[in-house]
Chain A
Amino acid sequence: MKHFQINVSISHFGFFLFVALLTSCHRYFVPASHQYTQQQIDSTLTPDAAYMEYYRPYKQQLEAEMDRVIGHTDVALTKPSNVPETRLGNFFTDALLAEGKKQYPDAEFSFGTKGGLRIELQQGDITIGNLFELMPFENELVLLELSGKSVQQLAEFIAATGGQPVSGLRMKISDGKATDIAVAGKPLELSHTYKLITYDYLANGGDNSRGLNSPVSRINLGQKVREALITYVSEQTQAGKHINTQLDGRIIHDQ
């Protein structure tokens, strides 16, 4: 709270405050009551033409770039919040792992967070704009070499938060704890090190994730996550394939 004093350099608002202070010796009014109304913004409201006109040039530029269809998904890629594994999470981390492996073929698994996936993708065409909205952030891919112990910590974080998007890692959640952890098809060994593809936001401590803060080594791949997704979808399309991500039990609740 260093700026409690009126900042006269912001003259417009400083003036407001100045007037308020000059005349603030009496309190004439007290709030007696209030009432609440909430209005949904929908098609019953006619858009204000002046606003549409203002942002039309931006919209045109944006649409020219965003409306291009680059692929197709046969299934809706959703992320229900109450399940440990989601189609959207699988699609996202599968794509990250595939793109990361192009630079580092020895990458073994990938990790993201549900909260980082900002929209779901409907069944049908995938546009550049869809992937911008799925991953609006300017985050970049990172390769982390992690000790087995760090992977264990990461798995515990995933378990404690009810499951997070992963690829190349399988585990069960038992009473909020991680069990039966396997990386690249083999049971986790604490004495081994493992190579993870994730992105800078998470590697820098984002979403309060655990296990990523003391990697054996870190390499910034210099590729945006969004670009990785765009490349992944485009290449599937070029290969004549649709996206058809399924659940495969990579994270399940141990009943």
Chain B
Amino acid sequence: MDELSTINRRRFLKQAGTLAALSTVGGIPLTALANEDHVTLTILHTNDVHSRIDPFPMDGSRNQGLGGVARRATLVERIRSEQRNVLLLDAGDTVQGTPYFNLFGGKVELELMSRMRYDASTFGNHEFDNGLEGLAKMLPYAKFPFLTANYDFSDTLLKGKTRDYIIFRKQGLRIGVFGLGIQLAGLVDPTRCQGVRYLDPVTTANVLAERLKQDYRCNLVVCLSHLGYKYQGNKVSDVVLARNTRNIDLIIGGHTHTFMPEPEHIRNLDGQMTTINQVGFAGINLGRLDYIFERQSKKKKLVTAGRYKMSERMSAVMERG
């Protein structure tokens, strides 16, 4: 049985390799593989955009001329026209960093994200910068949910205004997405997050991911995390989360503004691979993960149990932008 899935993977790699050689820009046209037996899913993601509406100014600074929400929109629209199943996700700190936030309180950022049809985001620590009142004021401009499973807002005015998770349905696929935020104490002024209870991210993740994968039978479980990529010591990070959880396929990270050259694959508690990715900050990059799902017979389904393994060779078809 294991061999079967290996063969399938080899076949895919071969196909993908051929297509990669033919492809021009924007990666491999995976729709070419979509048929009765395959469904593709394209996950696009940003993190820590920090109110960077316009590209960085041409002032000689390191990131001059990069980023820009209108350019990102062009790219996202192009990908949407090429791919049937697209999810556009963000890992928090959407605001704070340019005067757009100081002057307009988050309205411009969230309206533009809504227009681009973001499917979900989470709260970074900077979403709290204007206090819970400021946050409550800007939330109505978002036509997508903020997923904040480990912040308990029940005793605050944000009660009921965020969600723990959401399940997206794409061409028969179910994609479960939940969100985790960083410990606020020591990072956010206590007067700006009064009454928010912080729940342990690892425990929260294990409960939710199991529910999404096992109970709701999601084909892919994604965590939007503002915990940060990794730290010295034991502080909870995406790497620590991946190692200490089950049932999470993908962690889209933020907070540490890490420019990961490519996703990292970490063995989780079950020995399965959890993928971590983060694309810097300020909307300089758009991350794109193209998944192929195989239709399984019931027999095979039991063997692979909705999980997949990343082999060494898999990285050979990964492209850098």
User: Which residues of A are at the interface with B, using a C-beta cutoff of 8 A?
Assistant: 1-4, 7, 9-10, 13, 16-17, 19-21, 23-43, 45-52, 54-55, 58-59, 61-62, 65-66, 118-120, 122, 124, 129, 132-133, 136-139, 200-201, 204-208
Asked if A62 and B103 make an inter-chain contact with CB atoms under 8 angstroms apart, the answer reads yes
Residues of chain B with a CB closer than 8 A to A28's CB: 172, 295-296
Residues of chain A with a CB closer than 8 A to B27's CB: 35, 37
**A116, B149: Cα distance in complex, Å:** 27
Does B241 make an interface contact (CB < 8 A)? no
Asked if B129 and A2 make an inter-chain contact with CB atoms under 8 angstroms apart, the answer reads no
Residues of chain B with a CB closer than 8 A to A59's CB: 53-54
Residues of chain A with a CB closer than 8 A to B199's CB: 1
**A27, B175: Cα distance in complex, Å:** 12
Min distance, Cβ B225 to any Cβ of chain A, angstroms = 16
* Minimum CB distance partner of A47 in chain B: B70
Inter-chain CB contacts under 8 Å: number? 256
**A42, B317: Cα distance in complex, Å:** 24
Given A2-B152, A51-B73, are A40 and B26 neighbors across the interface (CB < 8 Å)? no
12 contacts between A and B (CB under 8 A): A1-B149, A13-B145, A25-B217, A29-B295, A30-B294, A30-B296, A33-B314, A34-B289, A36-B288, A38-B321, A54-B115, A59-B53
**A9, B173: Cα distance in complex, Å:** 25
Asked if A204 and B166 make an inter-chain contact with CB atoms under 8 angstroms apart, the answer reads no
* Minimum CB distance partner of A128 in chain B: B99
User: How many residues does chain B have at the interface if contact means C-beta atoms less than 8 Å apart?
Assistant: 110
Residues facing A in B260-286 (CB within 8 A) are 262-263, 275, 277, 279, 283-286
Nearest first, the 8 closest Cβ-Cβ pairs linking A and B are A47-B70, A38-B321, A29-B293, A37-B27, A51-B70, A45-B71, A48-B73, A39-B321
Proximity bits, B288-321, A CB within 8 Å = 1, else 0? 1111111110000100111110000010011111
**A204, B318: Cα distance in complex, Å:** 45
Asked if B74 and A61 make an inter-chain contact with CB atoms under 8 angstroms apart, the answer reads no
Given A31-B293, A58-B104, A133-B98, are A39 and B286 neighbors across the interface (CB < 8 Å)? yes
Does B287 make an interface contact (CB < 8 A)? yes
Asked if B249 and A41 make an inter-chain contact with CB atoms under 8 angstroms apart, the answer reads no
Residues facing A in B1-23 (CB within 8 A) are 5, 8-9, 12-13, 16
